[in-house]
Structure 1
Amino acid sequence: MQTEDGFTVLDISSREAVAVQEVKLPGGPETGNFVYIRPVYGMPLLKSQRMMKLGSELILIFLTGAVLILSARRPLRAIKQDLSTVELSNLKGAMIPTDKAPLELLPIIEEFNEMVGRLRHSSSNQKQFAATISHEFRTPLTVISGFIQSVLNRGEEHLLDHHKQALGIADTEVLRLNRMLSDLLDLSRADNQQLSIRREAFELIPNLEQVLKLAKAAYGNPITDNLKELPYLEVVGDPDRLVQCIGNLIGNAVKYSEKGSPIDLHVSSDDSKVTVCVSDHGQGIPADQLDTIFERFTRAEGVVLPKGESSTGLGLSIVKMLMEAMGGTVSVRSTVDEGSLFSLQLPLSDQP
């Protein structure tokens, strides 16, 4: 396109900014001027500046987003950590603080805290109920057992055989109920931090002899031991609770073994601890159940309860609770159809 000033415009379709430079050509007026036109964004310097600006804007956006994400995740991580520590046995510390919580989460946190409050109230009522029932039932059961024993002892010559058998079964069931109530009472006291466990030095052998005497009188299975081969051993713990733990293990061994199958009590020691093992040749426990048998109200799947026997799933959980309270441990090894071996460990008294 020819203009009135003598310029020829070749293309005016571009909307980009341009830079214009005019240079006077030599040769006088007739030669005219040379006008140099180029797009501004085509210059190398401006291209670099443009890329630097774009890069800095992207970095700023990224940093801003990262700061916002981290600031939002920090309270969420704190809330997640608080939730991971919530346990039914300790609901006092389950409340989530609301002072630093995000506004969007406040309604959820407040509702959660109200729910925890309701659970605390319900849990407290259940623990109190279990403790009261266990305590109140033990006295009449003890009286009933006493009368049964009195009748059996005084009227032995005058009772028919089937009467003696019936009274013996009744006495056995009373004793079983008494043990169950004792277990429930121990669990209730432990949940309320009221379980009294001693940690004192005591001689081990006499207490094991007491356990064996009671077990041999209660069960028909032969029970072997190595107590006569042992040196003097003094351990730290609660002697009464240790007798209770070993009694529970022997009772389980008899329950899940064939009638007349031998049970063994074996004691060993090293420089720091004593290990008391109770082994049987019974059904055994599947390997995938060994981690769950010490949980409350849990019985191993695949293990068949003998006819006429019952189980609350409390015995092993009681053993674990008492051993840990004494500063000891309990463990198990078992093979299906071959038997099980439970090991109790307590520190020697000369250990710090």
Structure 2
Amino acid sequence: MAFGRFGRLGAGPIPDGRPPPPDPTQHLIEALHEPLLVVDGYHITHANAAARALLGEHIVGDYVRLAIRHPAAAAIISGDEEGPVALTGLGGHDRMWELSAGTIRKGQRLLRLTDRSAQRAAERMRVDFVANASHELRTPLAALIGFIETLEEANGPQDASTRLRFLSIMDGEARRMQRLIDDLMSLSRIEADRYSAPKDRIDIALVLHDVVQELGQTRRDGTRLQCEIDNEIMATGDRGQVHQMFHNVLSNAFKYGREGTPIHVTLRRAGSRALLTVRDEGDGIAPQHLPRLTERFYRADPGRSRAIGGTGLGLSIVKHIVERHRGRLDIASTLGTGTTVRIELPLIP
């Protein structure tokens, strides 16, 4: 019986007319979802569907160095190491795979590729978060220290009006830090509870009424709110978090809507869900910014956001609260027209 380097030659029936028996190695690796390659010497004899999808349908029979063209893979492919080693950029610039190897028998090895892209993205988010939080805290701290040193100097400002102006700026910077720390703590608590579904029975219409009344009393332009709220909309939720979610969304509408224009707020039943819609008549947001608005510290207009006291965490907190309540968040915007935020929450059957 004739055999080539990669197994039985030909794909047709064997001499007695029967079809060739199934390849047990191929059956085995196809049962696994990670990309797997069986290599005999330096040639690929078997590849499962995941490996072919990643590296190409043509790779069986190819030289393995041509299939995995990555400098970090050389030591694994040559058999000098078993790994694992990270292959950054394989299959896309934002992807990272981990290559490891094991010996099947002399001359034959199994190469395994494990997708570590999600872990890499999570680590990058963690590093960015720490860097952004440090930057956001450093800015007001630097202002506070500078003004304190100026006031302490013997030849510092002597007139009362200048000192009061300095103290007013210091108070603003301190409160900015306080808001940031409060938001960071809120985000941390919400993330800690993300897999624990709320269990309290609450009337979200009453919660929204409370937020509307609070903003109407504390903001000099509170009369901009135009509300249509259904009665007794019962849901399972965390009252404090739902209050914070409504407050953040409505506060954003005040901040970014044009002064004097109305803010349209509706809360109604829509089948088995409650639908909150908040629409402002502001400058709107460019399309490229919309997918990133719920990222921590992401700002479409950093200068304006800081000027009006934003921490860059408001919509990130909203997103996490919506997710914990098994809801849905959607943000749509048109430049020059305004922004609409829609939140869907499941109702109690």
- With normalisation by structure 2, the TM-score equals 0.53
Does structure 1 conserve the Cα–Cα contact (< 8 Å) formed by 2:284 and 2:339? yes
Does structure 2 conserve the Cα–Cα contact (< 8 Å) formed by 1:199 and 1:326? no
Structure 1 residues 185 and 58: CA distance shift in structure 2, 3 A? closer
Structure 2 counterpart of 1:238, which letter? Answer: D
Does structure 2 conserve the Cα–Cα contact (< 8 Å) formed by 1:257 and 1:280? yes
Number of corresponding residues: 247
Does structure 1 conserve the Cα–Cα contact (< 8 Å) formed by 2:206 and 2:232? no
Residue ranges of structure 2 left out of the alignment (5+ in a row): 12-22, 27-37, 56-83, 88-96, 138-159
Does structure 2 conserve the Cα–Cα contact (< 8 Å) formed by 1:256 and 1:305? no
Greater fraction of residues in helix: 1
Structure 1 residues 192 and 336: CA distance shift in structure 2, 3 A? same
Cα distance, 1:71 vs. partner?
Answer: 4.9
Structure 2 counterpart of 1:336, which letter? Answer: L
Identify the match of residue 73 of structure 1 among 36, 39, 47: 47
Structure 1 residues 273 and 70: CA distance shift in structure 2, 3 A? farther
Find the counterpart in structure 2 of residue 275 from structure 1: 275
Q: Distance in 2 between matches of 1:197 and 1:178?
A: 29
- With normalisation by structure 1, the TM-score equals 0.53
Find the counterpart in structure 2 of residue 296 from structure 1: 296
Q: What secondary structure sits across from 1:291 in the alignment?
A: helix
Cα distance, 1:282 vs. partner?
Answer: 1.0
Find the counterpart in structure 2 of residue 155 from structure 1: none
Does structure 1 conserve the Cα–Cα contact (< 8 Å) formed by 2:101 and 2:111? no
Does structure 2 conserve the Cα–Cα contact (< 8 Å) formed by 1:220 and 1:260? no
Structure 2 counterpart of 1:226, which letter? Answer: C
Q: Distance in 2 between matches of 1:77 and 1:239?
A: 48
Cα distance, 1:170 vs. partner?
Answer: 6.0
Post-superposition Cα deviations, 1:288-320, rounded to whole Å, max 9, x if no partner, equal: 32112122222226x861683354432111111
1:195-344 equivalent positions in 2, closer than 5 A: 198-221=198-221, 222-227=223-228, 230-300=230-300, 305=304, 308-344=307-343
Structure 1 residues 61 and 326: CA distance shift in structure 2, 3 A? same
Structure 1 residues 163 and 57: CA distance shift in structure 2, 3 A? closer
Find the counterpart in structure 2 of residue 9 from structure 1: none
Q: What secondary structure sits across from 1:345 in the alignment?
A: strand
Q: Distance in 2 between matches of 1:98 and 1:105?
A: 5
Residue ranges of structure 1 left out of the alignment (5+ in a row): 1-52, 85-93, 135-159
Q: Distance in 2 between matches of 1:316 and 1:193?
A: 17
Post-superposition Cα deviations, 1:242-296, rounded to whole Å, max 9, x if no partner, equal: 1111111122222223333322221121221111112111111112321121222
Q: Distance in 2 between matches of 1:345 and 1:305?
A: 29
Does structure 2 conserve the Cα–Cα contact (< 8 Å) formed by 1:189 and 1:195? no
Structure 1 residues 234 and 57: CA distance shift in structure 2, 3 A? closer
Q: What secondary structure sits across from 1:226 in the alignment?
A: strand
Q: Distance in 2 between matches of 1:186 and 1:285?
A: 26
Cα distance, 1:215 vs. partner?
Answer: 1.7
Does structure 2 conserve the Cα–Cα contact (< 8 Å) formed by 1:237 and 1:327? no
Q: Distance in 2 between matches of 1:219 and 1:72?
A: 68
Q: Distance in 1 between matches of 2:348 and 2:44?
A: 52
Structure 1 counterpart of 2:334, which letter? Answer: T
Structure 1 residues 343 and 165: CA distance shift in structure 2, 3 A? farther
Structure 2 counterpart of 1:318, which letter? Answer: I
Cα distance, 1:226 vs. partner?
Answer: 3.0
Does structure 1 conserve the Cα–Cα contact (< 8 Å) formed by 2:102 and 2:111? no
Q: Distance in 2 between matches of 1:95 and 1:268?
A: 49
Q: Distance in 2 between matches of 1:172 and 1:281?
A: 28
Structure 1 residues 342 and 57: CA distance shift in structure 2, 3 A? closer
Structure 1 residues 287 and 172: CA distance shift in structure 2, 3 A? same
Find the counterpart in structure 2 of residue 180 from structure 1: 180
Deviates more, 1:177-186 or 1:274-283: 177-186
Post-superposition Cα deviations, 1:171-206, rounded to whole Å, max 9, x if no partner, equal: 665554333223222444456668866243211222
Does structure 2 conserve the Cα–Cα contact (< 8 Å) formed by 1:284 and 1:334? yes
Structure 1 residues 60 and 72: CA distance shift in structure 2, 3 A? closer
Structure 1 residues 254 and 224: CA distance shift in structure 2, 3 A? closer
Aligned-pair Cα RMSD in Å: 5.1
Q: Distance in 2 between matches of 1:172 and 1:218?
A: 18
Structure 1 counterpart of 2:211, which letter? Answer: V
Find the counterpart in structure 2 of residue 346 from structure 1: 345
Find the counterpart in structure 1 of residue 149 from structure 2: none
Percentage identity across aligned positions? 23
Q: What secondary structure sits across from 2:207 in the alignment?
A: helix
Cα distance, 1:218 vs. partner?
Answer: 3.4
